[in-house]
Amino acid sequence: MNKSIKKVLIIANLHKREVKGLIEEIKDYLEQKKIEVVVFGFIGKPEIPDVRGIDFVFSLGGDGTVLYASRVVESSGIPILALNLGKFGFITEISKAEWKTVFEKYQKNEVGLSRRIMLKVVVEREGRKIISFKGLNDAVISCEGISTIVKLSLMINDTPLGEYRADGVIVATPTGSTAYSVSAGGPILDPELEALIVNPICPFTLSNRPLVVSGDEVITILVEADQRVGIILSIDGQDSFPLLPHDRVIIEKSHSKTLLVKSDVRNFYEILRSKLNWSGGPDA
């Protein structure tokens, strides 16, 4: 039995040269199938479009466009077909030549969904919640401007882990394990695992190592009082918020998940092998 799709949202990064022609190609195809199409193209930092009545989303761009799209549809359960128009993408599995085949197979239940956990990030100041975010990749607490050591205290549930003196701390999902976290020496996780990575950035103490915890844990990070620089919280590298001494940042698995249409041409491990140029020989 085919899936019923009546209204589609195309989220398109207009910085990509080929995106306008691809928008028209997808739009013409869908309208021939009597599917209503809404196009949201953006340059720079976009607003959040209305997703009421939307059944399905095409994300046209790179990994950054998917990160944005995931926040657009979070909590709505709308699947995303992510087309890779970038140069180096781990999240976007599907090429621009494959979208029609994958879409038709999805409608026929011949390809499934990859269910990715998201982060819920809450900032508390003087005992009250002042702002919250959702993210697919990571939450990063670091200094503003030139790299300087920051002082952060970390707690997992009710257990203190001690003070981190580092350039910052990354809390990443499995999807985000191939982003900033891996560059900071963190492990790569299967993107469908329900786990979180706590990864100090260039820690002053060598005993502070990356930690993988259950996705059910609650991570609390306290900004210590004695800071020499401003501190900033960044979500997926796209949203940011300045932190003050004594702020508490509470990070946990969101109730929402990002639903990505899977490719039946390649899987995560094939993408990993290709992107990281693993040959298995002496030059790997």
Positive or negative, the Cα torsion across 198, 199, 204, 206?
A: positive
Nearest to 234 by CA among 181, 284, 188, 278: 181
Same domain, 98 and 145: no
User: Does a structural domain hold residue 35?
Assistant: yes
Pair 102, 131 in one domain: no
Of 1-5, 105-109, 157-161, 212-216, give the lowest mean pLDDT range: 1-5
pLDDT digits (tens, 9 = 90+) for 174-207: 999 999 999 999 999 999 999 999 999 998 887 7
> Predicted confidence band at 1 (pLDDT cuts at 50, 70, 90)?
low
Average pLDDT value over all residues in the chain: 91
Is residue 63 annotated as part of the catalytic site, yes or no? yes
In a domain? residue 283: no
Residues 106 and 183 in one domain: no
Look at the chain and report how many structural domains it folds into.
Answer: 2
Q: Which of 50, 63, 138, 283 is catalytic?
A: 63
Q: Are 220 and 154 in contact (CB under 8 A)?
A: yes
Q: What is the pTM of this model?
A: 0.92
Q: Is the pLDDT of residue 147 over 70?
A: no
Predicted local distance difference test score (pLDDT) of residue 17: 84
Position 46 scores a pLDDT of 82
Check whether 283 has a pLDDT greater than 60: no
